[in-house]
Every structure is written in C-alpha cells, then in structure tokens.
Amino acid sequence: MSDAIKVSSYINGKFIPTSSQVVVVTDPGNTDGTVGHISNASLDDVNFAIECAHAAFGSWKNSTIQQRQDCLTKATAVIMEQKDRLKELLVREHGGMLWEAETDFYLGAGVMSMYAQADDTPFKVTEIAEDNGWIKIHKTPKGVISAIVPWNMPIVLTMMKLGPILLSGNTVVLKPSPFAALALTQLLAKIADIFPVGVINIVHGDVDVGNVLTSHPLVRKVAFTGGTTTGTAVMASAANTIKDVTLELGGNDAAIVLEDVDFNAILPKLLKGVFTRSGQICFAVKRIYVPSHQLDDYVAMIAQVVSQYKIGHGLHPDANFGPLNNKKQWLLVQKMIEDAKASPACEVQELGEKLDPAAWDKGYYLLPHIVKTMDNSLEIVQKEQFGPIIPVIGYDSLEQAIAYANDNEQGLCSSVWSNDIDLAYEVAQKVEAGSTFINSHSFDSLQLGMPFGGIKQSGIGRELDINETLKSYLEPHSIRYTSL
C-alpha cells in the first residue's frame, strides 16, 4: 500500500507536484506498516491556493442556488460511490473500526444531501416597507473560506463545512489532518471535479500552513474543528485581519444519571457514548455522575460489561474498539491513567482483553479504564481525556450533580438519564452545554437540522442547523431607498 497511496495538495483543479516535505503515514494499529505518503504544500502553494479560490469566487458567487444544489447532489452520490473503495484505507490511517469509518461516510453523505435539498429561504431578499421608501436586505457570500478539519471523523466533519460553504456561494481552501488525509484527499479531489475549477482546493501541512490559512487577507472566514488549545491559536491569528470564525472545539461531556433509572438497562447506550472511536470523539461521554450511595454498585455494573470488551485492529472482526490515533495522544492518556492511579482519591480498574497480545506494542493500544472517585476537581475529571478511560463520580444531591457538571470550562454536549422525562428535561435546562440529550449520548443523539456546537471553551457558532449555519457564511447587505 505504501507505494500506491501518495497524495499531494489539490489546487485549481489538479494535484500539484510532490514536494520535498513528505510525511509518512503509519497504521496506528501496526506502526511497522506504512500506509501512504503525504506531500506537504509550500507556503507559496498555500498562497496560490487562496488566490485561485479568490479568482473562482468571482464567478461562483453569481451561480444560482439550484446550480449549487445540483453540484451538492452529485457530491452526495460521489461520497457513497467512494465509500467501499476508501473505508479500509481510512481505518488504516486513523485507527478506527470499520463500522465507524462506514458511519463517517454515511453521515457525510447525509449532511451533504441535507444542504442539497435545503430551501432558498436563507438567501431571499428581506424587504421592509417605509412611508418614504424601502429597505432591502440581501445576503451575499463572504468569499474564500479556510476549513481545517481533524482526524477522528474526517468525512462528516469536512462535509459539515463544505455543504454550507458551497451552498452559500463561497469557495474553500481545506487542510486535512495529517493523521487522516489519504482517504479524504482522494474523496475531495473527486468532489472538486464536480465544481468549477478553483472552488475547492486542498492543502497539506502543519502549523505553518495553518497560520497562512488563518491570517491571509483574502480569507474572510475560518471554519475549524479540533482541540481547544489550537482553536485559541486559530482565533488569535484570525483576529489580525478581523475574520469571522466558526470553532467546534473540545468537549468534556457530562452524563448525569438520576436515581430512578434502571442502570443496567441504560448501560449499552451509555457505554456506546463512552467507548466509540476509543473515546476519541469531541462529544463522547467523558464524565459520568451517579448517586453516591449507588457508586460502588454502578461501577461494578460498568466493569462487568467493559471487562468483556476486546481491543484490537480496526479491521479485526472481533474488536470492540481499536487503537488511539497517534503517539502524542497515546502518551497523554497513559499519563492521565498513571496520575489517577497515584491519587488516593481514585480507584482505577484496567479491563478488557487484548485480541492480539503479540502485536499490542506495535500499535497505540490501550485497554479501557474505569476510575471511581468522589472528587470532581481531579484532572481526570476536569480535563478531556480523548481515550478509553471514564471517570465515574458520586454526587450527594441533584443540585450537586448539576454543579459538578457545570464546573468545567468546556460545554459541548451532555446528557441526563432518567425514567422521569419531565425531571430530566428540568435538569437538562440547567446544564451548561450546546446540546443536552435525554437518555442517549452518541451519534444516535444527533439529528440533521439540530444545531451542533459548544459554549464556553468548546467553541463559537453552530453547524448542522441549516438556517443558523448558512447565516454564518453569508453577509447581510442592507440597501435603503428614501424618496427625494
């Protein structure tokens, strides 16, 4: 595979020549194996991509809504056509399970289809009559948008940006994560061929490339999904030229389990929210709050289920989840586990089964861990783990549970689990988060058209809601006439 899979930046309708800056992509589940190579863009290449996108904007902004939607419809079909060809490659480069990669393609196609079928209400001219004239408010596209996407669910997270960017009449320069760029680049090149030359451009690189994308004067908005620390840098860079930003950042999602619920009954859904993608999802369950007098029993129930999990390569048919994506994250999560073990306030259990012990050290594998504690101030609780480790924290009152959940600088998603839906709804309204789910907390909890995004340090702006999202990619232009 290493000889066959090579990608470079795609600018103005073609792949640019391979540069001297080549990144080797290894399989997180078998780091001895090379999956492919990424040729990074030079800073001149990035500037050229932005200039090409700016040139293409001159005509694309004048296309009709129907023309744009026809292109998005074709793009939806391409995503589904390429799914079976690219899904195993995606697993080998980002470490997820095969079903997770398939889900990524399905969700990406769903998002693109949603925008392809959107009505034209957000684009209509608003008219306000006055006694001596009128006001007409037009909605115009912004221009070149920089999009920077992460590695954990690269297909859907890319389409959550491309759909509204393109439907609004903007053009885009997109940078994939180097940890999941091979399949995405091949898919995007085929989608780009549907659109006029220069509308979609792809550049590869690290921080230096990102800095150009967030600071270039021709870029009018930055759409970024990733960690809060990087999001802070993106926002600071964009501020130099007063760019708009949409930031979907890290989450440390709380799940509040109320006393009345049948814990055994909810466990399958709750643990799906914890361990899908090895916990490497921005809105995965990262903290579970349970009544303190039931803490021991609930931890035992969780342990009984988690002990049966099998961890192995994403293409192994018996694996429940795979490795972490990269060494940096693997080391970070390992340190958090060791710190929790060293704390007298924690009781840590390592569970699960290694599917292939002989190959374990060749990948970024970690067994699932459960941390029992009554201390909400611990790092393992306060900091997003992004790995297969879950703290379970006891609370003494419902008010304390809500206070514990809100005592965090992140606020992406959350959940409340109860048989009493009225009470759960009452609790949900008090939780500080962009979304709160009742009796679910996973991919199944999301719905196209439902605003998705965070508060506090989990981000700025919303995606998936057609009207709200499109507003962020359009500029109101007010024209007022008054009679002489």
Contact between 93 and 180 (Cβ < 8 Å): yes
- Residues β-bridged to residue 255: 288, 415
Q: Which two tokens stand for residue 258?
A: 């109320």
The tokens for 7 are: 């990608």
Instruction: Report which of 470, 432, 466 is spatially closest to residue 449, judged by C-alpha positions.
Output: 466
**Burial call 343-355: b when 16+ CB within 10 Å, e when fewer:** beebbbbebbeeb
The residue with tokens 């930031």 is: 247
What is residue 166's three-state secondary structure? helix
Tokens of 69: 């939607």
174 burial via Cβ count (<10 Å: 0-12, 13-18, 19+): buried
Whether 405 and 431 have beta carbons less than 8 Å apart is answered as yes
Q: How far is residue 80's CA from residue 71's CA, in Å, rounded to a whole number? A: 15
Bridge partners for 149 per DSSP: none
Residue found by looking up tokens 């609780």 in the block: 381
Nearest to 182 by CA among 94, 80, 98: 94
How many beta carbons lie within 10 A of that of residue 369, not counting itself? Answer: 23
Q: Cβ contacts of residue 258 below 8 Å, gap of 6+?
A: 398, 416, 417, 418, 420, 423, 424, 427
- What stretch of H or E contains 477? strand 474-482
Is residue 148 within 8 Å of 223, Cβ to Cβ? Answer: yes
Catalytic residues: 248, 282
Contact assessment for residue 386 and residue 333, using Cβ atoms and an 8 Å cutoff: yes
Rounded to whole angstroms, the Cα distance separating 215 from 86 reads: 33
Which of 204, 166, 2 lies closest to 93, judged by CA?
A: 2
